[in-house]
Copies of this chain bind each other. A is one copy, B any other.
Amino acid sequence: MSAALLPALPVGPVAPELDLAGWLNSDPAPALRALRGRVVLLHAFQMLCPGCVAHGLPQAAAAFEHFGPQGLAVIGLHSVFEHHRAMGPDALAAFVHEYRLRFPIGIDRPGDDGPIPTTMRRYRLQGTPSLVLIDRAGRIRASQFGRVSDLALGGAIGRLLAEPGLPDVGADPAQAAPACSADGCPVPE
C-alpha cells in the first residue's frame, strides 16, 4: 500500500491553496502560500475515522516532532465528508485537546453541493486518511490515500528536505518567507 508513495516523487502541479472555515493551533490560519521554501506534509483526516486515529494522526504528530526542527511544516486538514453533525468545530476542538495534537489544523470548508468539502475536492483526495507532500517550490510530489509505512514516509520527507529549492528558511515558521508581494498573497494556480 505504501509502494505507490515514495521512490519517484514525480513533480506534480502547484498545490492549490487550502479553503478553510476555521483553524486550530495556528494564528493566523495555516496557509500554504506562507510556506514556500519549506517542505509541507498535509494530513487530511476525520476525527471519527478509525484509521486516522490509529495510524494517520500519530504518524503526522511523530513527523511534526521529528522533522519539524529540520524544516518540515505539518498541517492537519479536517475534511469531513460524512457524519457532519458529529464532527463540528466544538467536537474537533475537544478531540484535538484530548489527543494533544500540537500542529496547525485547518477545518476544510463544507462543499456547496454534496458532502465533499472544498479543499478535499481541489486535491481530489480519495478519502481519509490521506497525506500530501509538497516540495519547497510549492508543488505536489506525492498524494496517498490510506496507510503509509513510517519508513516510506520518512524516506520521502528526507528526499524532499534534501532538495535545494528556494533558499532554506530554517525551522521557524515565523521566519518563513512568504511568496507574497506588497499587494497581497496570491493563491498559486
Interface of A toward B, CB cutoff 8 Å: 2, 6-7, 48-50, 53-54, 59, 62-63, 66-67, 69-70, 82-83, 85-87, 90-91, 93-95, 97-99, 149-163
Contacts and interface: CB of A to CB of B under 8 A. Distances in A.
A154 B62 CA distance: 13
A87 B93 CA distance: 12
Copies of this chain held together in the complex: 4
Contacts of A87: 91, 94
Contacts of A163: 162
30 contacts: A2-B66, A6-B66, A6-B158, A7-B69, A7-B70, A48-B91, A66-B151, A66-B152, A66-B155, A70-B155, A82-B94, A83-B97, A87-B91, A87-B94, A91-B91, A151-B154, A153-B154, A154-B155, A154-B158, A155-B155, A155-B157, A155-B158, A157-B158, A158-B159, A158-B161, A159-B159, A159-B161, A159-B162, A162-B162, A162-B163
Nearest to A157: B155
A63 B7 CA distance: 12
A66 B159 contact: no
A161 B150 contact: no
Contacts of A49: 98
Residue from A63, A87, A91, A154 whose CB has the most chain B CB atoms within 10 Å: A154
A41 B69 CA distance: 24
